[in-house]
Structure 1
């Protein structure tokens, strides 16, 4: 039997498309009880929440707050030249408009959310600064921030204490 051929069209996406995908899924399976997101996924989830999807509780891990900072950190971690970083910024603004940096600022978007939130972030995270989650927690009425140490950006996802605290928060 011949195998179907899959033609790969576009292999890239962005936070706006991810937020739309989240909203589409939620509209099909609604209601959802809880949203859990990591890093840039937290920014996409915030876009979806601020555009009207609802859930009972939110858990973010190592959340990105400011896309501009993330781009700078990405360039640094990948040893990109300052010229390449400038070009990336130009391309972002060309594709999404010069106001893209403000449109995706998570701290601005969460200010109007009234959903209980628990944020985890490692103080030594080298990919997303701890201060980004602190800014989100300060802007989000009723949000709690739990600082961890020694877990970094990815191990925080597998840490038993973090997982248990998230489960307890969701089930309370």
Structure 2
């Protein structure tokens, strides 16, 4: 019953945007983009900080109009960088942290734009990559691990900034922005006017065509060692997206899992990642 109500609400919103696109196209686009880019969960308040993050050192950074939060678990001089996904925050790494601490390396996790304790209302991959660059310039991490769209942000960063990680791990990461956008269009049943306006805006703002906004293209022919892990039962980011990245990225090992869903939480997988980092 709840799913049926949610379906009706989502389709009703889509119908409203479609109708508005003929009357007030700019307002229709603004609403469509807002719903697409503004996360509805993943925030952290000062009164409800997850226990995992309480154990870390909290360091905030200013970048342009943003102030974003990082969390540091101190170890040796070698650094691992953790990049979470959509509607999440740095606390999502709780289970992996237990394993990573065995490496004795310093671990840094970022709250993405409009997530956790970071500022902003809009999330997008290029801004996330800017956050990554600020941290890279200050701490020079050699290993990056990203979940979901966080993995896409790492791939984007690798292609657009002058820094080479030594190893990268992508967990349940999407490859093509086009697929993400098409899924959003399909979910709301948005018309071609809105679809095209979102495509045009992406190209104008980020100087990338929708076809080139792709992790598989960003990492194509990369000489960095990596792991691409994806679950066959992932209903959020389809399994084919992970296969697409690994096919383009010859230096990456592909790990197929079953039963982990999109979260990818698994002790054996995490130990495999630790072994990869330490080899």
TM-score by shorter chain over 0.5: yes
1:168 and 2:275 are equivalent in the alignment: yes
State the partner residue of 1:26: 136
Structure 1 residues 45 and 113, CA, compared in 2 at 3 Å: closer, same or farther? Answer: same
Greater gyration radius: 2
Aligned residue for 1:103, secondary structure, equals coil
1:81-120 counterparts in 2 under 5 A? 81-83=189-191, 85=195, 88-97=198-207, 99-120=208-229
Following superposition, which runs of at least 4 residues in structure 1 exceed 3 angstroms of deviation?
84-97
State the partner residue of 2:127: 17
CA deviations over 1:117-144 (Å, ceiling 9, x no partner): 0111001111111111111111112211
Structure 1 residues 91 and 112, CA, compared in 2 at 3 Å: closer, same or farther? Answer: same
Higher deviation after alignment, 57-66 or 99-108: 99-108
1:46 and 2:161 are equivalent in the alignment: no
Higher strand fraction (1 or 2): 2
1:141 and 2:243 are equivalent in the alignment: no
Length-normalised TM-score, structure 2:
0.52
CA deviations over 1:56-110 (Å, ceiling 9, x no partner): 111100111000101223444xx3123265554454345335x432332111111
- RMSD over equivalenced CA pairs, Å: 2.1
8 Å CA contact 2:178–2:211 kept in 1: the answer is: no
> Which segments of 5 or more consecutive residues in structure 1 lack a partner in the other structure?
1-7
> Which segments of 5 or more consecutive residues in structure 2 lack a partner in the other structure?
1-117
Higher relative contact order (CA 8 A, sep 6+): 1
- For 1:159 and 1:134, how far apart are their aligned partners in 2? 20
